[in-house]
Chain A
Amino acid sequence: MFLRSLLGLAGFVALWGAAVPVFNIPSYLLPGPIEVFDRICFLFERAELAGHIQVTVLEIFWGFLLGTFTGIVSAIVFARIPVLLRIFTPLILLLQTVPKIAIAPLLLLWLGLGLAPKVVLVAIVSYFPVMTAMLSGLRYIDKSFTDLAGVLRLTPWQRFWHVELPSALPGLFAGATVASTLAMTAAVIGELMGANKGMGFMLATGQENADTATVIGMVILLAFLGWAFFSMLEYLRKRMEDRFS
């Protein structure tokens, strides 16, 4: 499975490497894979690329954690106290429907150019899919499970831990997967709009200097980052499923 997807990737790179000389594409439009690879190595050695990657990863990590955590906790609270849901729905929807790109400058104005505005932006975009997935998981619990919990006289905590949480888990992870792609986008957008570190900052610099190899290099690294993020979620999901079996 893993080998086969690697094969597909290799095929794509080979096609790309062949297309550049065959169609005589100038390097400022599309540099070949070797040139891009060289550029990435160069950036690691001379431009502290590792540091930039670290900044972006940290923004995504903390933002995603914050958004997921508040999403899960507020969903639990909303499921218990539906009045709160009705009170907060307009606010949450507003925050959700406004284009995130429009919030970004505001956050930058308020929180400066450092980590904080990106973390907040990532948290905002991660929050909604996680909260809604968790909430519907908790609210639409199979009624017969409620009966089982009733017969076994489960305490509210047992009910949550043994019945509600595991039934909500598949939905929760689907929501988290959606949130993970949004989180990556939000971090890069935040950095594109104002930053002096991070992969989005590198992208912006590459664009200003018409340095196509750097831009493509960043896109590739971001793709790998997204793939690692996704794999981590999958791993977590399997661990949680084992935990509850």
Chain B
Amino acid sequence: MIRIEQVSKTFGQGKNSVVALAPLDQFIGEGEFIAIVGPSGCGKSTLLRIVAGLETATEGRITLGTSQLKRPVGFVFQDAVLLPWKTVAGNIRFPLDTSGVPRKVGDRKVEELVELVGLQGFENALPKQLSGGMKQRTAIARALADDPAILLMDEPFSAVDLMTREGLNDELLRIWQATGKTILLVTHSVEEAAYLGTKVMVMSARPGRLRKTYDVALPSPRTEETKTSADYLDLVGELKHMMRDADR
């Protein structure tokens, strides 16, 4: 559960200050999958960073309902942020190694995750030897490593080709269904948002603010058929319309 109450963020002071986020309210229930869309610079990353505790809100309050107090969220950054001196396996197991998980347990977990994101054979590769999409998949595996109840993803698939991307979307849905994680995912694609989300938050820029939160009433589980259903296409159309509107 995540409760966002009147959260706003202003960077800088006085004349040079930038309102990145106007006061925003949103309640996110346990196990919801929230997709966030909006034009560049509307404060999507800022919102995620505040939820993660990387940025403090200028005003307002965030309440995280999770028992994982030490490490409440997993985060997939907009640009993978892999440690360049660590291998794929080393990066994936980093959260485990820094929370005292025994090596043996970690090894097994890493093996599982590598398979999950389809990086078999690249366990010992260094980040500089990976493509953008492979880096991103490594980052996703790392975020899943210590099984956080809340998963924050900032455009996790932006560097992945369409085919892989659709595969990863389905994989993500599967993980979500299997684990009941609460997921916040930022994307530039309204199609992706409608396909993945139980709710879609549409934001607009200057100042960054929440325009509207859509409830997605598509049946679960989502499949290829979902993408051709009238409800889905209607929602995509409406989201696009809202986005264009929001841009103005």
Q: Decide if A138 is an interface residue (CB 8 Å cutoff).
A: no
Interface centre among A151, A152, A163 (most CB of B within 10 A): A151
Cross-interface CB contact of B73 among A145, A151, A167, A241, cutoff 8 Å? A151
- The residues in B between 48 and 86 inclusive whose CB is less than 8 angstroms from any CB of A are 49, 52-54, 70-71, 73-75, 77, 79, 81, 83, 85-86
Chain A: number of interface residues, binned into ranges: 10 to 19
Give B183 Cβ to nearest chain A Cβ, in Å: 15
Which residues on the A side are within 8 Å of B87 (C-beta)? 245
Which residues on the A side are within 8 Å of B77 (C-beta)? 144, 147-148
Q: Decide if A169 is an interface residue (CB 8 Å cutoff).
A: yes
Do residues A153 and B81 form an inter-chain contact, with CB atoms below 8 A? no
A16→B53 CA distance, assembly (Å): 68
A148 and B81 contact, Cβ closer than 8 Å, known pairs A154-B98, A158-B98, A245-B90: yes
Do residues B70 and A153 form an inter-chain contact, with CB atoms below 8 A? yes
Q: Decide if B43 is an interface residue (CB 8 Å cutoff).
A: no
A162→B97 CA distance, assembly (Å): 10
Closest to A148 in B: B81
Give A168 Cβ to nearest chain B Cβ, in Å: 11
A184→B90 CA distance, assembly (Å): 38
Number of A-B pairs whose CB atoms are under 8 Å? 49
A144 and B54 contact, Cβ closer than 8 Å, known pairs A152-B95, A153-B71: no
Q: Decide if B94 is an interface residue (CB 8 Å cutoff).
A: yes
Do residues A150 and B85 form an inter-chain contact, with CB atoms below 8 A? no
A151 and B98 contact, Cβ closer than 8 Å, known pairs A145-B83, A166-B83, A245-B90: no
Chain B: number of interface residues, binned into ranges: 20 to 34
Q: Decide if A244 is an interface residue (CB 8 Å cutoff).
A: yes
Which residues on the B side are within 8 Å of A152 (C-beta)? 71, 94-95, 98
Give A242 Cβ to nearest chain B Cβ, in Å: 10
Which residues on the B side are within 8 Å of A162 (C-beta)? 83, 94, 97-98
Which residues on the A side are within 8 Å of B98 (C-beta)? 152, 154, 158, 162
Cβ-closest 7 pairs across A and B: A151-B75, A144-B81, A166-B85, A150-B54, A244-B85, A153-B71, A148-B81
Which A residues are closer than 8 A to B by beta carbons?
Answer: 144-145, 147-148, 150-154, 158, 162-163, 166-167, 169, 241, 244-245
Please, could you name 22 A-B residue pairs with CB atoms under 8 Å apart, sorted by A?
A: A144-B77, A144-B81, A145-B81, A145-B83, A147-B77, A148-B77, A148-B83, A150-B52, A150-B53, A151-B52, A151-B75, A152-B94, A153-B70, A153-B71, A158-B98, A162-B97, A163-B83, A167-B85, A244-B85, A244-B86, A245-B86, A245-B90
